[in-house]
Amino acid sequence: DAGVIQSPRHEVTEMGQEVTLRCKPISGHNSLFWYRQTMMRGLELLIYFNNNVPIDDSGMPEDRFSAKMPNASFSTLKIQPSEPRDSAVYFCASTLLAGGHYEQYFGPGTRLTVT
């Protein structure tokens, strides 16, 4: 089975540019999570969705960040405009809420570098 798929795997962009990160969750999963990982702050939850509906976006750092989930098989995280401090690895994870087990399956991540 294919796991969580993220694209691109690496992104290098200049400050001020728009960046769009993409995620395809595992088929059949009903919750999707976006995380950011840096050496300074560790693994931070940005936003999560259940049945394509955003549940909690309190982790989104600024209005420059936005996320959408137009259907059960696709989500995007957009940064506009990007800044050097946004440089990090961004992970998408998905899970199926059932039976009280909440193991999230992570994608390989997108390494973003903003110069």
Partner 1 sequence: GESVGLHLPTLSVQEGDNSIINCAYSNSASDYFIWYKQESGKGPQFIIDIRSNMDKRQGQRVTVLLNKTVKHLSLQIAATQPGDSAVYFCAENPLIAGGTSYGKLTFGQGTILTVHP
Catalog residues that contact partner 1 under the rule CB under 8 A. Answer: 4, 31, 33, 39-43, 45, 48, 50, 55-56, 91, 93, 95, 97, 100-109
31 with 50: CB under 8 angstroms? yes
CB of 107 to partner 1, least distance (A): 6
Q: Which of 62, 61, 66 is nearest to 49 (CA)?
A: 66
The verdict on whether omega for the bond into residue 81 sits within 30 degrees of 0, i.e. cis, is yes
Burial 35-54 (b: 16+ CB within 10 A, else e): bbeeeeeeeebbbbbeebeb
CB of 109 to partner 1, least distance (A): 5
CB of 18 to partner 1, least distance (A): 24
CB nearer to partner 1: pick between 15 and 55: 55
CB of 2 to partner 1, least distance (A): 14
CB nearer to partner 1: pick between 80 and 85: 85
Rounded-to-integer distance, Cα 82 and Cα 89, Å? 14
CB nearer to partner 1: pick between 20 and 50: 50
